[in-house]
Structure 1
């Protein structure tokens, strides 16, 4: 195994304890409170600290509730602009590369996934400026590709964060796989994929809230993949938090 690889993007050492039993009940309450405060105009970073401190959550739990929660307005906007996967036929796509690949890698390795309030499935991995390939990387890209090609998009543009170490290596793998299967794909590096995707006319594939709140048309591909192609993934469901009675 070379220095640019790790074995799997699976669960962290304490995840079973942090996301089960009484801890999980506490997190369900925390996500509800997080949404309640967002609905009343509180800033996300302030809510993370306020709710996290109130429930004495550790860093990974705080990251989880922050990714799971959204306001009613955000959920309605995201649902209104979300397309069915069948609607990508003959349309150009733009993919938030790290966002999608890491979630699929996590699912393949049995890591923790969250079904969030907006219907997206998100991981709580963090690459900290450096992406390291895992055993599931190539298999994840191939799965994504076979599923997408079954719905016949016009073409696919993958975008990766230029500042992230090894992004060029991952883009090269995407190109290599595309060449192998004769898929009409491109893979590019850019300093700010979020901005490029928000300003693109292509259908977006991402679960990044900063992209989705820009009003782009998008496909919830990570949720489609994990729902249809994984048997019993480790998936914690926070999707009902916004509907919890006062």
Structure 2
């Protein structure tokens, strides 16, 4: 059994009292970002104060954004558009979507970020391999699209990424 994005220390670093400290730190990072400071020095500064690991600092950097950015991003959400209409066609980054689902199905941390996006810490850069959760992730995604009555979805899979062809073959056996 493969566990995408799994690090044994995650259970200790992202639960209980430590999770409470991360949430407090996220408020402090948010405050500084809203004042115009850059994310890297802010997460370093706040991370040093709380003696966070690099992985905890990465979680902070990935999960907090300046309020101005969050407002801009939310104004572009398709399902929250002005008339509440479901779009006829949805375009998705296939790897980001599938990898995040695989991480969640693996029991590894996935964060609901302040900009309304789910993010993981898997950190796959240009490499991808099919795992035992891949087919389930594709099927889950397609079932969700169907439940939203989205009739046409385009998934972009970067050709330079290894195994992108193998992942694209799953659509033939998925329920949609």
TM-score, with structure 1 as normaliser? 0.63
Whether 2:4 is the aligned partner of 1:9: answer yes
Q: Is the 8 A contact 2:3 2:106 kept in 1?
A: yes
Q: Secondary structure at the match of 2:154?
A: strand
Mark the runs of 5 or more structure 2 residues left unpaired by the alignment: none
Q: 2:35 aligns with which of 17, 32, 40?
A: 40
| 1:7 to partner: Cα distance | 1.6
Whether 2:64 is the aligned partner of 1:80: answer no
For 1:10 and 1:129, the matched residues in 2 are separated by: 15
| 1:30 to partner: Cα distance | 1.7
Q: Is the 8 A contact 2:65 2:115 kept in 1?
A: yes
Q: Which has the higher strand share?
A: 1
Q: Is the 8 A contact 2:5 2:120 kept in 1?
A: no
Distance 1:55 1:163, change over 3 A: farther
Q: 2:91 aligns with which of 91, 94, 97?
A: 94
For 1:27 and 1:154, the matched residues in 2 are separated by: 39
For 1:158 and 1:34, the matched residues in 2 are separated by: 33
| 1:117 to partner: Cα distance | 1.2
Q: How many residues align?
A: 173
Whether 2:105 is the aligned partner of 1:108: answer yes
| 1:155 to partner: Cα distance | 1.8
Partner of 2:18: 23
Q: Is the 8 A contact 2:111 2:120 kept in 1?
A: yes
Partner of 2:64: 69
| 1:126 to partner: Cα distance | 1.2
| 1:163 to partner: Cα distance | 3.1
Partner of 1:132: 129
Partner of 1:122: 119
